Amino acid sequence: MNARTRDPLFWTHGADTGRRAAWTLRARSLARARATFGTAPAIADLTAEPAAAMTAFDGGSP
């Protein structure tokens, strides 16, 4: 399954409301921090978490 297919399916069916809300909140906070202070290592951590969850949702396909 390609990313264009997997990502919306994951967001709708693979991530519960709490995870979606937490990732959205962190993404907004990190965007504000990046705008103020420049790049932050936490951005890589944030992108790694949903990426790993999406890979697990898709049965391990990248």
pLDDT tens for each residue of 13-49: 888 999 999 999 999 998 888 888 887 778 888 888 8
Going by C-beta distance under 8 Å and a sequence separation of 6 or more, which residues neighbour residue 3? Answer: none
**Side-chain-facing half-sphere of 7: CA atoms under 13 Å:** 6
**DSSP one-letter code for 60:** T
Given a contact cutoff of 8 angstroms between Cβ atoms, the answer to whether 50 and 15 are in contact is yes
- Has this prediction a pTM greater than 0.75? no
Where are any strands of DSSP class E within the chain? none
